């Protein structure tokens, strides 16, 4: 009995520490401290749980904790900041795996599964198994093991709906007849299949939305478990998690002016065939010309995008900015909320390269300064600077807020060739008379620019 | 599971929901990537369930599932907190001077 | 009173404390007077205790105390909400135009 | 049994509505809706409670509710916005009375009072009775039934501490021996006496701080009751209340740069004898001159204070502002956080007079504009514009942030005569060469000014 109360108190403390931890994230200054508190909370919760009276042997627990910590820390230390989205997908998969396995183990014990507990358990394994499948696909797409564009087949949506209905049907049946073991595993399998089929037709860049949503559902499922087990720390952590995922996915959809339905079922990205080509030419420019333009500008705005991440060019871009600042040029970074492949992705990359975050500007802030900007440098960004989103109501990305580089006096675009952005549509910006294209891998082009600026 | 406990869980859920909304909507876009990593790490709290499963020795089957669950949950927790720390450290390193100057700008 | 219930009360208290801090610290100075009136009205929730006391007929003494308590708590609740409403109405009456213009200022 | 769950659900709903209600107060737009929700929550809680199985007769409950509603609504409709602080004190007293009586009734039932329940009950009656006494004194001081300045006697602080210690001693004894009825009532009486003696030596203008503190303790006491009765809605409402009072009192202390100890035990206000008189004269000015100055100014800042409330001049000040705006003068209102006798007091008064809240400016906002202001008009404010707070580190109000009217080109002060502000100290502002004094009741002076401006 005694140990039970100790556990409960450990959980109260853990909950409070989690909340403090997330509160810390409201400012970069307090964020690190906050996360230390949250980690401490996790430690308290784990240590508390070890007192649980059902635990009879610690051997396997310790093995599990050691192996997990080892793999986890190696992964955390080795992963490059450029592949954070992939890591996020993997981590989601691991979390879902743990939840699913615990759910299955709990089910296999089979003792007195009331309707209520079966419901919570069902949610847990359903979401869990769906999320494992979904996030593995997400990982594969982000890591480019799978084609990033939507993978579709005919009648897909109808098939998926049918699959979903069958799975839910089995779930409801199980609530009333929990003892039907085979159906239980069939349900887990179908949920897995549904996870695969749900994520395959979604484009790589939309993965963060899907991942956030899955995260949010996972949180709610764990809150449901908390209800079933009367475990408040699960309810609290699950709810916080659920809200975080939900809010982030909403924010991303807003930043793209697309509905959640369009993201999930629209097979968006890369597939628009009936597109008219834009008339005109892309004006190619040389490194020297660009260097001179930049060196004698008063204000330069740098717009990073997905290409910066793939080229791993964050350090080189900082060098360029420093070289310019050294000459008295004002350099600002414009961060679009969905630039890259994860919300806040660009911020982390630039922070890694030691760019002070006071020179990062959000969409609205920077757009009001565009007219006063001499040169905008677009580095591996495409959709987020596509003026069609603003001007052409028929464009697939119509209404998405953009960084209006076309309002600055000169625009320089760094990209490898004539590739399109995630949305798969042409960008009229590249055909404007005041836009110069500097072809080549972003990192290589930037390195050349740094040299040229230093010599200018 | 008594109805009393259910109702008190309902209170906890309602309050946590409000709080979650308030707290998360105050996180600046700058920190959205660390936020994702952090909530993922915190969601690893389901680790506590796997610990009990791994240690309870109900059956070999459930012990095996439990140990795999402990491993994956630990990867999630340890990895999540460490990578969050790695990211936040990058943000904090350049804090002191820059932040002051920004505040000054605001005041003047 | 079981220890379980005590612990779940503790959760409720901790969450409410966080939430209270978050919510109250977001109330602008403009609305501090309505805030004082409103929390006073809400604190009249102790009215529920006096209702039971007044209706339970344990003893004449406790019924009398209960009725006086009901009266004063009701004064507090009804008066509090009504005066808050009176104040907030004054703030809201001049809302539409002015607020828009302020927002426009910000955007431009 | 059934009815019990209905009650519980009613309380869950009420709690949620209370939270929504207070959240609404984060913006004037959403505030009214929010309060409607909160009021609905209260209704739900009351109706739910009526199902309580212990309630056997509804007669007296209905009588109580009717009488209370009648008195409450008459009070709410009749009270003038200028006497809001007094109303607040009264309302606090009623709330405390209810809590104390319920506590006493609960105690008098006498059945199985465990240590835990006795503790909660003890807190309830202690704070309750202290608060009744304290808020009645606060009411008397604000309503000027009692002298507003500190009422002190020799050895007061020591006596109070002794009284406090004895009361707490009895309380602790009672926790272990709850059956000692006489001691219980002695404790209630002593707490009442302590409440009286604690508030008497506090100046009238500091009452809002005291009231907020008492409010906060009352909230915590009701949360304690919630713990004892296992009633979550009490815990939530009490905690919200507690925080609101606490945060407001901290904010007020900050806005005066005084410590809580100084407010509670410093006998602040009106008593500083060893003050040097300021050399110089106050330059009196006439209505016509002021009117001309105002009419031809580019920007005028109005600084209202306690005198505006006592003179009930809020409507007249709006007329003046309108007359000026009609002539193209820019008029702004500067609201000091502790101007008047309640936080936010000036905002409510001006809102009553239909001043749009977009022309109300907070301290920091307006101070940066002072140098660009042609005329500041100080209406019944004194301490909040006293430059000594900034310049003279020995002043009793040193360090209090002020509205720096002395930095504007001209200052006009409307007051009745040579009276001092709440702090009881001289104000060097009135002796500056660019300050003109317009003596007389604020409302009368303003009415004359309106006429003169219209004719200028
Ligand atoms: N961040 C999120 O959270 C999120 C969420 C949902 C959706 N999305 C979507 O993701 C997209 C993000 O837009 P974005 O502007 O950042 O990227 P983008 O539109 O996908 O464009 C990336 C550009 O970078 C270029 N590029 C690729 N590798 C490069 C390299 N090594 N060097 C130089 N250039 C390179 C590509 O052109 P070349 O092939 O010619 O080089 C391409 O035009 C948007 O459509 C957004 O809606 C993002
Ligand atoms: N608001 C709060 O929440 C709060 C809380 C704690 C403490 N306080 C304290 O309260 C004080 C508030 O400062 P304040 O500047 O607003 O007021 P104040 O310093 O108390 O001064 C009020 C002035 O108004 C004048 N006056 C009074 N009746 C008048 C009438 N009918 N017509 C014209 N003038 C009249 C008085 O001078 P005559 O007698 O010459 O007319 C007096 O100088 C500060 O000391 C503050 O620290 C406020």
pLDDT (0 to 100) of residue D275: 58
pLDDT (0 to 100) of residue D423: 81
Q: CB atoms < 10 A from the CB of A433, how many? A: 8
Alpha carbon of residue D351 to chain centroid: 17
Average pLDDT over all residues of chain B: 83
The reply to whether C2 touches chain D by the CB within 8 Å rule is no
Residues D255-305 pLDDT 10s: 888 888 888 877 776 545 455 667 778 889 999 999 999 999 999 999 999
Q: Can you name the residues that pair with A19 across neighbouring β-strands?
A: none
Q: Which residue has the higher pLDDT, D332 or A151?
A: D332
Q: Which residue has the higher pLDDT, B92 or D312?
A: D312
Q: Are A435 and A303 in contact (CB under 8 A)?
A: no
Instruction: Name the DSSP class of A11.
Output: H
Residues D93-117 pLDDT 10s: 999 999 899 889 888 886 677 888 8
Cα Rg for chain A, rounded, in angstroms?
Answer: 25
Residues B53-99 pLDDT 10s: 899 888 888 899 999 999 999 999 999 999 999 999 888 765 544 44
Of A205, A203, A235, A220, the C-alpha closest to A131 is A220
User: Ligand 1 centroid vs A311 CA: distance in angstroms?
Assistant: 11
Residues D382-421 pLDDT 10s: 999 999 999 988 888 888 999 999 999 999 999 998 888 8
pLDDT (0 to 100) of residue A347: 92
With CA atoms as reference, the chain D residue closest to C101 would be D358
A325-343 burial code (b ≥16 CB/10 A, e <16): eeeebbbbbbbbbbbbbbb
pLDDT (0 to 100) of residue C105: 41
Q: How confident is the model at residue D219 (pLDDT cuts 50, 70, 90)?
A: confident
Residues C18-49 pLDDT 10s: 999 999 999 998 899 999 999 989 988 888 88
For residues B78 and A265, give the distance between their C-alpha atoms in angstroms, rounded to a whole number: 34
Chains that touch B (3 or more CB pairs under 8 A): A, C, D
Of C4-13, D188-197, D271-280, which one has max mean pLDDT?
A: D188-197
Q: Do C14 and A8 touch (CB under 8 A)?
A: no
- Tell me what the mean pLDDT of segment B9-31 comes to: 92
Q: Which of A8, A23, A364 sits opposite C7 (nearest CB)?
A: A8
Residues D393-402 pLDDT 10s: 888 888 899 9
- Tell me what the mean pLDDT of segment A2-16 comes to: 88
Residues D128-183 pLDDT 10s: 999 999 999 999 998 888 887 888 888 888 898 999 999 999 999 998 888 889 99
Of chain A, the percentage scoring pLDDT greater than 70 comes to: 97
Question: Is a pLDDT exceeding 60 seen at residue C103?
Answer: no
Residues D49-92 pLDDT 10s: 999 888 888 999 999 999 999 999 999 999 988 888 999 999 99
Q: CB atoms < 10 A from the CB of D264, how many? A: 18
Q: Do C12 and B12 touch (CB under 8 A)?
A: yes
Q: Which residue has the higher pLDDT, D221 or D24?
A: D24
User: Ligand 2 centroid vs D313 CA: distance in angstroms?
Assistant: 14
Active site residue D374: no
The reply to whether C14 touches chain D by the CB within 8 Å rule is no
Mutate to test the interface with A, among B8, B64, B85, B90 (most CBs of A within 10 A): B90
For residues A325 and A328, give the distance between their C-alpha atoms in angstroms, rounded to a whole number: 5
Close Cβ partners of A207 (under 8 Å, ≥ 6 residues apart): A85, A89, A138, A141, A142, A199, A341
Of chain A, the percentage scoring pLDDT greater than 90 comes to: 59
- pTM for this entry: 0.86
Phi then psi for A88, rounded to 5 degrees? -60, -40
Question: Is a pLDDT exceeding 50 seen at residue D37?
Answer: yes
Q: Are D305 and D416 in contact (CB under 8 A)?
A: no
Give A23's contacts in chain B (Cβ within 8 Å).
23
Burial tier of D398 (Cβ tally within 10 Å: 0-12, 13-18, 19+): middle
What 3-state DSSP class applies to A319? helix
Phi then psi for D379, rounded to 5 degrees? -110, 100
Interface ipTM above 0.90? no
């Amino acid at each position: 009995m005694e140990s039970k109360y100790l556990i409960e108190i450990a959980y109260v403390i853990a909950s409070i520490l989690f909340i403090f931890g997330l509160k810390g994230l409201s400012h970069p200054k307090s964020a690190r401290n906050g996360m230390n508190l949250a980690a401490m909370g996790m430690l308290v919760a784990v240590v508390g749980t070890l007192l649980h009276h059902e635990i009879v042997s610690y051997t396997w627990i310790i093995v599990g904790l050691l192996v997990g910590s080892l793999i986890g820390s190696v992964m955390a230390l080795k992963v490059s900041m450029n592949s954070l989205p992939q890591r996020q997908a993997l981590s989601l998969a691991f979390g879902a795996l743990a939840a699913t396995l615990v759910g299955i183990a709990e089910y296999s014990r089979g003792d007195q599964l009331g309707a209520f507990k079966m419901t919570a358990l069902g949610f847990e394994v359903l979401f869990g198994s769906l999320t494992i499948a979904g996030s593995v696909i997400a990982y594969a797409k982000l890591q480019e093991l799978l084609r990033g564009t939507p993978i579709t087949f005919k009648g897909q949506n109808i098939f998926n709906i049918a699959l979903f209905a069958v799975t839910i049907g089995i779930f409801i049946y199980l609530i009333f007849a929990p003892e039907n073991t085979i159906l239980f595993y069939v349900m887990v399998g179908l949920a897995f299949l549904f996870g695969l089929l749900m994520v395959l037709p979604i484009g790589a860049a939309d993965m963060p939305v899907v991942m956030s949503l899955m995260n949010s559902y996972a949180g709610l499922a764990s809150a449901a478990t908390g209800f079933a087990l009367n475990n408040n720390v699960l309810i609290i952590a699950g709810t916080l998690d659920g809200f975080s995922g939900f809010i982030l996915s909403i924010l991303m959809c807003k930043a793209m002016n697309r509905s959640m339905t369009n993201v999930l079922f629209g097979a968006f990205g890369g597939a628009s065939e009936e597109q008219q080509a834009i008339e005109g030419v892309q004006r190619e420019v040389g490194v020297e010309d660009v260097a001179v333009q930049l060196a004698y500008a008063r204000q330069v705005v740098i717009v990073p995008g997905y290409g910066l991440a793939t080229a791993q060019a964050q350090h080189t871009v900082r060098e360029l900015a420093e070289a310019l600042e050294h000459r008295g040029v004002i350099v600002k970074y414009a961060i679009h909320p969905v630039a890259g492949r994860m919300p806040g992705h660009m911020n982390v990359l630039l922070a890694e390269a030691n760019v002070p975050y006071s020179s990062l500007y959000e969409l609205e802030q920077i757009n009001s300064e565009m007219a006063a900007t001499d040169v905008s440098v677009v580095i591996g960004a495409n959709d987020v600077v596509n003026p069609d989103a603003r001007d052409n109501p028929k464009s697939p990305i119509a209404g998405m807020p953009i960084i209006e580089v076309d309002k600055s006096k000169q625009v320089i675009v760094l990209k490898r060739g004539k590739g399109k952005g995630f949305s798969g549509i042409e960008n009229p910006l590249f055909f404007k008379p005041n836009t110069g294209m500097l072809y080549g891998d972003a990192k290589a082009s930037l390195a050349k620019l740094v040299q040229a600026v230093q010599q200018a | 599971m008594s109805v009393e406990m259910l109702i008190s869980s309902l209170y906890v859920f309602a309050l946590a929901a409000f709080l979650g909304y308030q707290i998360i909507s105050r996180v600046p876009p700058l920190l959205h990537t660390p936020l994702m990593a952090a909530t993922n790490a915190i969601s690893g709290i389901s680790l506590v369930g796997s610990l009990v499963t791994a240690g309870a020795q109900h059956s070999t089957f459930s012990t095996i599932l439990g140990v795999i669950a402990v491993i994956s949950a630990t990867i999630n927790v340890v990895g999540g907190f460490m990578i969050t720390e790695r990211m936040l450290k990058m943000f904090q390193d350049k804090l002191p001077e820059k932040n002051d100057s920004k505040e000054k700008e605001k005041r003047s």
